[in-house]
Structure 1
Amino acid sequence: MKQYIKIIITCFVVWTSIGLSSCEKYLDKEDSTNISEKEAFKNFTNFQGFTEELYNCIVNFTNNYWTNSFNWGEDEITSTAGNFHFIHKIDDGNFWGWQAGFDGWGSGWMDKNNFSTANGRFNKDLWHAAWYGIRKANIGLANMDLMTDATQEEKNLIKGQLLFFRGWFHFRLIQYFGGLPYIDFVIPAGGEIRLERLHYNECADKAAADFRAAADLLPINWDNTAPGKRTLGKNGLRINKIMALGYLGKNYLWAGSPLMNYESTGSKTYNVDYCKKAADAFGELLSLTEGGTTQYSLVSLADYYKNFYTTGEGWALPGATEAIFRGPYSSANDSNWGTSKQYTPLIISEGDLKFVPTANYVDYYGMANGLPIPDITKADPESGYDPKFPWRGRDARFYNDIMFDGLKVVKGAIPDPAEQPNRFANLYTGGSYRDLNTGSRTGYVLRKFVPLTTNKYDHGYDWGYSLNIYVPYMRLADIYLMYAEAAAVGYGGATGATGKSPNFSKTAVEAINVIRDRATVEHVNAKFTSSIDLFLSEVRRERAVELAFEGHRFNDLRRWRLLIEKPYTLKKSVEFDRTGTFDEEDATNNEVANLREVVILERKFSEKHYWLPLKNVDVNMYAEFAQNPGW
């Protein structure tokens, strides 16, 4: 760890510059241009210049390499064209593979050998950015008394950002590795370091204190502050009260979840007290949002895609009004050329390696009447599901997220008549989209993050369409679902569904129904509200559907202590034959036969796989910084 906490070179940007640019260009300067610490931190412009480099420590996991893996649960599998992504190593049970030192690649965005805060997706990773950011935040906090030429509002803005980032980087680390030293002071550059690992809950309490203090110092919207008016309209990514409350709640919910509670106390159940604190933080946020005093709101179903990509909007950053936390990114300057092609089968696109949804995960998408599908191979009179027409009457998010057999994909001309059949998604067993090496291994294709036009005929990924893809870290829908879980456990008693925080008007089940209303899906069925276990099963299914493929599933399965349990260790394909008359205009009318699911692989996990292994170079420094159990 010592290698990650070296002295940070202070850098400055002009407050009136646009956006959250890197300070890297200011690092290579003549010694004669250096200024004293007193000058560096004395006013808002200088101190904000120092602080803004922290934003470039927010790793863009969506576009961190030419192709990028960030769904490591049972939700996704790749084609067989490549095996270097961390998803393959996880499938093999080899969690050492997150480390770049293991094979030079690592997980891509979690560890790299060439970390820099300069612009560019190839040189940022969580491990280095977090330790770097923690030290930088501590240096800033240690120098707050030098900010003499500033208003109280300006001091609050600086301190609030620094506190948030210190909490956020610690939270990002401990959710993967468990309790670590919580560094809340500037460690001297020399001398021996012997900071012991804390329990998860001890780290979470310290992070919570930082998030709470940040929330109390920061505004809801920087545009309404005197300093923010200098960059009016360009403050959307700056840390604010809502972001701090969101992570305050998430930090508490994670601390209260079974895995983290087990690491902290030895109990494999939820920690009710932490869940109450989480529900209260989310309740405070949602009360502000529903009261109309924030800039955040759920986007409409028609605009749902804008949470993840924009096209034809001059490289506008995705997120619209729903994304709460994102980092700086512009595809115009840092291409997502590979990301835009990693989902569409090679036969109608470019690039060999493809990331596709597993059939077992797609099964979580229930019916429009809100009911789950017990078994996709069997008719279900209650939900109305018919295995002869498996794509009919489904949750609207199924149609938004998933490309299924028979869907009309290519809209424009296909010059070669021999390729004309590829206008439609041939995802039946033996279909042209089902190539194991460069297509779908599972019978499904992911379309959530790219428009159907991202193919070699419609050219939707060409530069002129300004397709910009960015999956946010946190959006408002996630807050509603985390509130539902926390309120159910913390305040719901035996049934869960009616639990609610004292500071918010909605119960746990009502919070889920807000998300279902947006999706035009019927409310949670009464049969799931009679017990806490039944209700939590529906909370988990709702998270699986609403937050599908956004990088949450792996950590959700871990914190629920389900990662090593069947059926969550299985990855399946759906197999079927086409039958009857093919409907070119409405693929839900196409009948199938011989519908079944086949296991592609089973993960062989044990208890040790709940936490990633730390680097041996770090755990060998001193006894108090111990390796995670089993590694």
Structure 2
Amino acid sequence: MKNIYKILLYSLVIFSIGLGSCEDYLDRDPESIVSEEIAFKNYINFQGFIDEIYNCIPDKQKYYWVTSYNWGDDEIFNVPANFVMGHQMDIGNFWAWQNNDQSWLDAGRADPTSGDKFNHRLWSHAWYCIRKANMGLENLDRMVSATAEEKRLIEGQLYFFRGWWHFELMQWFGGLQYIDRVLSPTEAFDLPRLSYQECADKAGADFRKAADLLPINWDNTSTGNNTSGKNQLRINKIAALGYLGKNYLWAGSPLMKNGAQVGGSKTYDYDQAYCQQAADAFGELLKLIEGGETQFKLASFEYDDIYNHVKSGTEKSYTEIFYTRGQSFLQPGADEVIFRGRTYDSNGSAWNFLKTWGPKVNGLVDHDNVIHHPTANYVRYYGMANGLPLDDPNSGFDPEYPFKDRDPRFYHDIIVDGFKYVNSAMLEEDEHLRYTGLHTGGTMRDPQNGSRTGYFTQKFAPHECNKYDKAYDWGDGIQTYQPYMRLSDVYLMYAEACAAIGGAQTTSATYPKTAEEAINTIRERVGAGFVDASYVADNNKFIDEIRRERAVELAFEGFRFNDLQRWLLLTEYPYNVKTSNEFDRIESLDWFKENDCKDARVANFREEVILTRNFSKKHYWLPLKVSDVSLYPEFNQNPGW
């Protein structure tokens, strides 16, 4: 499986019989391996064949000991972690996606039958699964022992996965060959690369077919009733509609319409026809959601203690989208996550993901000296509680009180100076680390083992993941997962598609909410102010607000690079810099023991550049493997590489 050619021509047909939980794909006996002759005989066998595709979905958070998947302007690592993929992207070494173990795209580990989370990466698995989907579609007529419902379920999953794996590749590499049939080892391998939009048309057709074939909820089907309560990971109509819309929105985005270029002059220039298709698909989905016809809804953002993520009431919380705690390693997602893959083991989150977000000073957080830091330029996107961005003259932002009256998600996600980091008893020699020293020259500002930016984040790993509170120990049962799509993302993509068509008051043909109402639905959930009238009146400013809302709502979830890319902003200032906030602490340590850290007064609050990413036009697409583009002339390399 060394290159695309071998993968597309020689994928094996081995799979497990049985329709168990999606967590049990590979819990099979040796005798459950069956031959191609009976692979497609009945529903049970055919579903086993498809289950291997589910098994291939990469877990972007836990594909190696130390992971890196936020490659936009959102994150920077401490200096000793310069080996990770994020830093290679910062210095323009996009080739590293092929040989860096911290890259979830590819790094020499690819085993579709493996139960090891380290063995699942995008590039090789995509081509393998595309071939499997084509094999399944071409053998549907062999499934003679199946009900009409079972046949629809099989066919819908195959169409979805053929579209999904192509779409995931297209985001990183642009238009490729769209493989929609089983390739023969004896035929000439000369398929040309298609344009991005040509690929999107084919993917859209597959997602549409999947949406028409699949149920909203497998539990409500005769087939799915056999595994009722264990169908959460199965592809359904909502996921297919979500990706149908996303596929068309990406196809209509400025990069895909205008081609790679620098200067940023085309950043608001969308293809309105594709955006209309996107808005209609998202609208179809949201109408079902708001009509109460689905199992999905926005998670609650009600907290008794926002800093410790202690929720109010019994509703599933915003935090539980990203991690669960004290629930026997329950996979997160709340009721908001629309598409995700499997979790491969119970305690995988602690090795080493949960230990890469906090300070390593005095070993306060165990394990490797690797720390994800939110950049100050990105933290700036968290505006004020009144809904205005920090740089709006009416926002009320005061640099003497920079952490006061901010968007509620700021307090959920971001750790600031004076935050109570450790709750439990500490050794006397570590007591000075109980409250974060993130001011300039503070106890946690060493770029080697502290913060380079003046912040930490706890969106995915609570601050109690330290050697005293021990939240990453087995007994706490923390499980994390990075979703591929959740409901709030759909609202924001709908708002963007509608705005690109006609502005803030635009709706789709399938759903009555305007773009403005859609974005405000997300702000209402968290208690932030609605989009101000001054931004609604100017469509470019309104689109900027949608983009800022995406930055905040989807912060550090792995989407930022692709957003900047498709908006033609990857090369442009201020999106090409990573900064820190420098300031002097005025309050005493005792003050923080008695007061809320958000109310602290500071002096000399300023922003300083840590690095500038010197990207050119070629950086809008990743380079393809030399071994693959050398196969035949029509498989050409991306420009500039």
TM-score by length of 1: 0.95
Other-structure match for 2:318: 304
| 2:387 paired residue number | 370
* The 10-residue stretch of structure 1 (151-160 or 301-310) with the greater mean CA deviation from structure 2: 301-310
Q: Which moved more, 1:4-13 or 1:320-329?
A: 4-13
- 1:108 corresponds, among 84, 89, 103, to 103
SS of residue in 2 equivalent to 1:89: helix
1:596-611 pair list within 5 angstroms? 596-611=606-621
Contact 1:389 1:589 in 2 (8 A): yes
**401, 415, 424: which is aligned to 1:389?**
401
What does residue 162 of structure 2 align with? 166
CA distance in 2, matches of 1:177, 1:122: 23
- Contact 2:452–2:580 (CA under 8 A) maintained in structure 1: yes
Structure 2 CA distance for aligned equivalents of residues 51 and 143 of structure 1? 13
* Distance change in 2, residues 1:34/1:412 (3 Å): closer
TM-score scaled to structure 2, two decimals? 0.93
| Alpha carbons 2:445, 2:451 under 8 Å: kept | yes
In structure 2, what is the equivalent of residue 247 of structure 1? Answer: 243
**Residue 502, structure 1, aligned to residue 506, structure 2:** no
Q: Is the 8 A contact 2:74 2:375 kept in 1?
A: yes
CA deviation vs aligned residue, 1:385-439 (integer Å, no higher than 9, x gap): 111111010000000010001111111101x212112111110111111121122
Partner residue, 2:283: 283
Q: Distance in 1 between matches of 2:161 and 2:638?
A: 25
Corresponding position: 1:410 with 2:417: no
Counterpart of 1:10 in structure 2 is 13
Q: Which residue of 2 aligns with 1:482?
A: 493
The AA in structure 1 aligned to 2:635 is F
Question: In 2, are the aligned partners of 1:402 and 1:446 still within 8 Å (CA)?
Answer: yes
**Structure 2 residue 218 is the aligned partner of structure 1 residue 222:** yes
Superposed CA deviations along residues 554-605 of structure 1, whole A, max 9, x for unmatched, are 0000000000001111000011111145332410121111111110000111
Q: Is the 8 A contact 2:78 2:451 kept in 1?
A: yes
Alignment of 1:107-146 (within 5 A): 107-117=102-112, 118-146=114-142
Contact map agreement 1:97 1:106 (CA 8 A) in 2: no
SS at match of 2:557: coil
Within the candidate set 545, 557, 572, 1:550 is matched to 557
Does residue 609 of structure 2 align to residue 593 of structure 1? no
What whole-Å deviation, never above 9, does each CA across 1:179-238 have from its counterpart, x for those lacking one?
101000000134430010000000000000000000000000000111101101000000
State which drifts further: 90-99 or 10-19.
Answer: 10-19
CA distance in 2, matches of 1:93, 1:624: 26
Residues matched between the structures, number? 613
CA distance in 2, matches of 1:545, 1:381: 20
Aligned residue for 2:62?
63
Equivalent of 2:253, from 215, 236, 257?
A: 257
Task: Please tell me whether residue 352 in structure 1 is matched to residue 369 in structure 2.
Answer: yes
Tell me which amino acid in the other structure corresponds to 1:273: A
1:79–1:356: 8 Å Cα contact kept in structure 2? yes
1:149-201: CA deviations, max 9, x gaps? 11110000000000000000000001111110100000013443001000000
8 Å CA contact retained: 1:200, 1:263: no
Q: Superposition pairs for residues 435-454 of structure 1, below 5 Å?
A: 435-454=446-465
Tell me: CA distance 1:482–1:234, structure 2 relative to 1, closer, same or farther (3 Å). same
Q: 1:199 to 1:191 in 2, by over 3 A?
A: same
CA distance in 2, matches of 1:613, 1:417: 52
Alignment correspondent of 2:311? none
Deviation at 1:264, TM superposition (A): 10
Deviations along 1:296-352, one digit per CA (max 9) or x if unpaired, are: 000001311101000100000010100100001054164542100100111221130
Alpha-carbon separation, structure 2, partners of 1:45 and 1:264: 46
Once the two structures are superposed, the pairs formed by residues 507-586 of structure 1 within 5 Å of their partners are 507-581=514-588, 582-584=591-593, 585-586=595-596
For residue 208 of structure 1, what is the aligned residue in structure 2? 204
SS for the counterpart of 1:60 is coil
SS in 2 for 1:521: coil
Q: Does 1:272 find its partner at 2:272? A: yes
- The 1:444/1:432 distance shift into structure 2, 3 A limit, reads same
Other-structure match for 2:340: 326
The separation in 1 between residues aligned to 2:270 and 2:598, in whole angstroms, is 41
Query: Cα distance, 1:6 vs. partner?
Result: 3.5
90-99 or 186-195, which deviates more: 186-195
**Whole-angstrom distance in 2 between the partners of 1:356 and 1:250:** 28
1:75-115 deviation per Cα after TM superposition (whole angstroms, max 9, x unaligned): 10000112221111111111111112xxxx25521112131
Cα deviation digits, residues 236-285 of structure 1 (max 9, x gap): 00000000000000000000001111249999421000000000000000
In the other structure, the counterpart of 1:377 is: none
Q: Secondary structure at the match of 1:542?
A: helix
Percent identity of equivalent pairs: 53
Correspondent of 1:189 among 185, 189, 194: 185
> How many Å separate the matches in 1 of 2:48 and 2:533?
54
Deviation digits for residues 466-504 of structure 1 (CA, Å, limit 9, x no counterpart): 1111110100000000000001112x2xxx110110211
- Aligned 8 A contact 2:156 2:214 in 1: yes
- Equivalent residues of 1:275, 1:489 under 8 A apart: yes
Superposed displacement of residue 19, structure 1: 2.4
Q: CA RMSD in A?
A: 1.8
Match of 2:632 among 617, 622, 627: 622
In the alignment, the residues of structure 1 paired with residue 5 and residue 183 of structure 2 have an alpha-carbon distance, to the nearest angstrom, of 10
Say whether the 8 Å CA contact 1:21–1:52 is kept in structure 2: no
The whole-number CA distance in structure 1 between the counterparts of 2:481 and 2:34 is 37
Distance in structure 2 (CA, Å) of the matches to 1:556 and 1:12: 36
CA contact (8 A) 1:63 1:336 kept: no
Call closer, same or farther: CA 1:621–1:17 in 2, change over 3 Å: same
Using the TM superposition, give the Cα deviation of residue 70 of structure 1 relative to its aligned residue in structure 2, in angstroms: 0.7
Q: 8 Å contact 2:261–2:617 — kept in the other structure?
A: no
CA distance in 1, matches of 2:479, 2:492: 27
- With over 3 angstroms needed to count, the CA separation of the structure-2 counterparts of 1:336 and 1:11, relative to structure 1, is farther
Q: Counterpart in 2 of 1:314?
A: 328
State the shift of 1:127 in Å: 0.2
Residues in 2 aligned to 1:44 and 1:572: alpha-carbon distance in whole angstroms: 54
| Contact 1:611/1:628 (8 A) holds in 2 | yes
Which runs of 5 or more residues in structure 1 are unaligned? Answer: 375-379
1:82 and 2:77 equivalent?
no
Q: Which amino acid aligns with 1:454?
A: C
Which has the higher mean CA deviation after the structures are superposed, 132-141 or 573-582?
573-582
Moved more, 425-434 or 127-136: 425-434
Structure-1 separation of matches of 2:603 and 2:236: 53
1:22–1:56 contact (8 Å) kept in structure 2? yes
- The AA in structure 1 aligned to 2:523 is R
Structure 2 residues not aligned, in runs of 5+ = 303-316
Find the aligned partners of 1:16 and 1:5 in 2 and give their Cα distance.
Answer: 27
Q: Please give the alpha-carbon distance, in whole angstroms, between the structure 2 residues aligned to 1:265 and 1:573.
A: 28
Residue identity in the other structure for 1:308: F
**CA positional deviation for 1:29:** 6.2
Amino acid at match of 2:211: A
Pick one of 433, 438, 448 that aligns with 2:444.
Answer: 433
Cα distance in 1 for partners of 2:260, 2:357 equals: 39
